[in-house]
């Protein structure tokens, strides 16, 4: 086989997937950008959008106080959701990687991932039963005297928050587990042999080594949560808003594609900025890790 | 050896709580699928009525039909493109590897909502009007990346000596690929196909945006009937689908385990 033939074969199998993504995804992303500078055409015209004047009008509208507030609520909800996902996920991932035998791990991971095989929609709907003012949880809490009157969190931002944590918790567990599993148990052993207490070992050895995994899980959870549409639509009612709902409203109901596109662009930019910040954090965390390991040696 | 491990006990209790938290809504759905009442989430008594009623609801049947067709077409696309790419990524570390990995990363981190908006604009622009094709393409964009990652992981675990041997023995590259590479990748391909099917079958956001009148998928129908009031047939069809996916998931798990075993054997 000739050398040229061999090199040309290297990229050939990548081509179909790359072309598929270029034609349908990259082009789609570019068209969001293009449309965000257009204007909604009058109802009489065939095309939904005119580009006679390239306009920043959509951005002005998307950045008006009402929308900015919803963007802010979205980032806050996603941020708080991510924080709790990481907080709840870490002990589970830690347990799996340190105290569960290798034979059992795949089964427990399977159980944790399992909910993803059940309709996302109906699982979210189910929370409406659980949280209903006259529902089981409400009555149990009233019986315990923890609340008076029915539970009143359905159709509020709190319900959206809970739904977000519920839906993305498994997504947070996996990357943290992978990071923790990679840590050589000998490192922890060495730390305790050198006289460190369990807590010192955890804080100075395990936690720094797990930080990249935590940040990765955080980025993933945050992106998914910030772009969510279903949870606020089902659990949020009129008061629980997230930007995904407003974007969907503009595009699916108001038929205002340019405004929806501009709002999507702002979401992308916000996520990019936060992603870059987290990536920088990750680099710093790696540096500190290396320094800590260097100091240990 | 048995030592006292209070932290371990605490952690295990925590995991039990988390698993309970994850599964409670699933139990609620299963229990309420046997609700006799007209409105899904108002309990009136046990009955299997809605399991029969599924087959009288034409909207459920037609959207289910659309969902299955779109999911299968999406699997076909994702498996072909993803397998080709996954094997190549594991085998050849060429110049194109880095940009391709970058592109794959972009596909994975693009929020579904953003991708969906872009698709509806772009599909309308290029005049892609077939609702089924729009759904299948929309779902395949993410799933191609998913299959590529799974296949790549397996291909990395298996050395390419067998393929080289086939080449040395005079087999043309396509023949070595079909007769040696593909069979070796089969567990990963099947696992990828099942995941791609489930993703598509459950997808709401992309489907909601790219769908055409007359080609709604089942999740989009469920979402739209939420406003009018859900009935028991929706839960019944989801529980039936769950039973089916459980069977598929068990098959996938067995295949992946087999794959892992044969990986350690080679």
A104 touches B at CB < 8 Å: no
Q: Are A76 and A276 in contact (CB under 8 A)?
A: no
pLDDT at B96: 83
Q: Does B105 touch chain A (CB under 8 A)?
A: no
Report the C-alpha gap between A285 and A278 in whole angstroms: 10
| pLDDT at residue B80, as a whole number | 97
Does the pLDDT at position B72 exceed 90?
yes
Q: Is the pLDDT of residue A274 over 50?
A: yes
Q: B233: closest CA among A284, A285, A122, A49?
A: A122
B11, A91: Cβ pair inside 8 Å?
Answer: yes
A122–B29 CB contact, under 8 Å:
yes
pLDDT confidence of A2, banded at 50, 70, 90?
A: very low
Q: Which residues 132-171 of A are in CB contact (within 8 Å) with B? A: 132, 166, 169-170
Residues of chain B in contact with residue A104, where contact means CB-CB under 8 angstroms, are: none
Cα gap B177→B84, rounded to integer Å:
10
| Chain segment B169-217, per-residue pLDDT in tens | 988 888 888 888 899 899 899 889 988 998 999 999 999 999 998 899 9
CA distances from A177 to A115, A282, B21, B192 (A): 18, 17, 19, 21
Distance CA(A288)–CA(A280), nearest Å, equals: 12
Interface touch B238/A166, C-beta < 8 Å: no
Full-model pTM: 0.87
Nearest to A122 by CA among B225, B244, B2, B10: B225
Q: Which residue has the higher pLDDT, B243 or B18?
A: B18
Q: Does residue A279 contact residue A231 with C-beta atoms inside 8 Å?
A: no
The four Cα atoms A60, A62, A64, A68 give a dihedral, to 10 degrees, of -140
Confidence of residue A81 (pLDDT cuts 50, 70, 90): very high
Nearest to B238 among A119, A228, A267 (CB): A119
A121-158 pLDDT per residue, tens: 889 999 988 998 888 888 888 888 888 888 888 899 99
Q: Does B80 sit within 8 Å of A99, measured CB to CB?
A: no
Q: Cβ of A251 and B89 within 8 Å?
A: no
Q: Which residues between 72 and 91 in chain B have a beta carbon less than 8 angstroms from any beta carbon of chain A?
A: 77, 80-82, 84-85, 87-89
Is residue A294 over pLDDT 90? no
The first and second tokens of residue A226, run together, are 């910030």
Q: Which residue of A has its CA nearest to B211?
A: A252
- Give the whole-number percent of chain A exceeding pLDDT 90: 46
Q: Would you place residue A77 in the very low, low, confident or very high pLDDT band (cuts 50, 70, 90)?
A: very high
Chain B touched by A198 (CB under 8 Å): yes
pLDDT of residue A4: 47
Q: Report the DSSP beta bridge partners of residue A49.
A: A40
Q: Does residue A231 contact residue A164 with C-beta atoms inside 8 Å?
A: yes
Average pLDDT, stretch A233-259?
Answer: 89
Please give the radius of gyration of chain B, using alpha carbons only, rounded to the nearest integer.
23
Under an 8 A CB cutoff, do B117 and A20 touch?
no
Count the Cβ atoms, other than its own, within 10 Å of residue A87.
Answer: 11
| Whole-number pLDDT of residue A1 | 44
Please tell me which of the candidates B87, B140, B222 has its beta carbon nearest to residue A121: B222
User: pLDDT digit string (tens) for B93-150?
Assistant: 778 888 999 999 999 989 999 999 999 999 999 999 999 999 999 999 999 999 999 9
Residue of chain B minimizing CA distance to A228: B113
Are β-strands A39-40 and A49-50 bridged in parallel, bridged antiparallel, or unpaired? antiparallel
Provide φ and ψ at A156, rounded to 5°.
-130, 175
- B residues 31-70 near A, CB within 8 Å? 32, 40-41
Closest-CA residue to B158 (of B127, B174, B180, B130): B180
Residues 6+ apart with CB under 8 A from A124: A163, A167, A230, A231, A234, A235, B25
What pLDDT was estimated at residue B218? 94
């Amino acid at each position: 086989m000739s050398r040229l033939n061999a090199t040309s074969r290297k990229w050939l199998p990548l081509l179909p997937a790359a072309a598929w993504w270029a034609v349908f995804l990259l082009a789609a992303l570019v068209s969001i950008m293009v449309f965000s500078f257009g204007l909604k055409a009058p109802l009489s015209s065939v095309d939904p959008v005119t580009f006679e004047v390239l306009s920043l009008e959509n951005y002005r509208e998307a950045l008006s106080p009402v929308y900015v507030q919803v963007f802010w609520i979205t980032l806050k909800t996603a941020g708080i959701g991510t924080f709790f996902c990481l907080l709840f996920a870490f002990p589970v991932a830690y347990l799996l990687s340190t105290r569960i035998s290798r034979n059992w791990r795949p089964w427990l991971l399977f159980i944790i991932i399992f909910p993803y095989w059940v309709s996302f929609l109906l699982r979210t709907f189910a929370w409406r039963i659980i949280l209903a003012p006259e529902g089981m949880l409400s009555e149990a809490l009233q019986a315990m005297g923890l609340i008076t009157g029915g539970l009143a969190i359905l159709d509020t931002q709190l319900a959206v928050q809970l739904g977000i944590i519920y839906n993305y918790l498994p997504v947070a567990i996996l990357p943290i587990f992978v990071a923790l599993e990679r840590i050589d148990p000998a490192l922890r052993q060495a730390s305790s042999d050198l006289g460190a207490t369990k807590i010192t070992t955890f804080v100075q050895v395990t936690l720094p080594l797990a930080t990249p995994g935590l940040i990765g899980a955080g980025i993933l959870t945050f992106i998914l949560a910030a772009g969510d549409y279903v949870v606020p639509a089902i659990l949020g009612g009129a008061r629980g808003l997230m930007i995904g709902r407003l974007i969907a409203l503009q595009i699916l109901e108001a038929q205002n594609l340019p405004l929806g596109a501009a709002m999507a662009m702002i979401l992308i930019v916000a996520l990019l900025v936060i992603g870059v910040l987290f990536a920088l954090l990750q680099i710093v965390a790696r540096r500190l890790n290396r320094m800590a390991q260097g100091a240990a040696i | 050896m048995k030592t006292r491990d209070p932290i371990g006990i605490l952690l295990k209790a925590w995991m039990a709580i988390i698993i309970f938290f994850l599964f409670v809504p699933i139990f609620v759905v299963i229990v309420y699928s046997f609700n006799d009442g007209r409105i899904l989430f108002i309990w009136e008594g046990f009955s299997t009525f809605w399991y029969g009623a599924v087959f009288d609801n034409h909207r459920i049947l037609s959207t289910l039909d659309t969902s299955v067709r779109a999911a299968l077409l999406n699997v076909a696309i994702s498996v072909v493109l993803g397998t080709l790419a996954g094997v190549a990524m594991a085998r050849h570390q060429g110049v194109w590897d880095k940009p391709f990995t970058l592109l794959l990363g972009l596909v994975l981190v693009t929020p579904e909502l953003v991708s969906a908006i872009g698709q509806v604009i772009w599909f309308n622009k290029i005049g892609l009007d077939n609702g089924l094709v729009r759904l299948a393409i929309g779902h395949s964009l993410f799933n191609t990346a998913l299959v590529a990652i799974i296949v790549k992981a397996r291909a990395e675990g298996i050395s390419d000596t067998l393929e080289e041997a086939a080449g040395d023995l005079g087999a043309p590259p396509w023949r070595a690929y079909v007769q040696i590479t593909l069979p070796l990748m089969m567990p990963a391909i099947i696992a990828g196909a099942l995941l791609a099917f489930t993703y598509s079958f459950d997808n709401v956001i992309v489907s909601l945006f790219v769908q055409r009148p007359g080609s709604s998928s089942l999740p989009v129908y469920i979402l739209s009937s939420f406003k009018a009031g859900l009935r028991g047939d929706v839960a019944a069809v989801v529980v039936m689908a769950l039973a089916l996916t459980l069977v598929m998931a068990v098959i996938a798990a067995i295949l992946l385990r087999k794959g892992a075993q044969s990986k350690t054997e080679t």
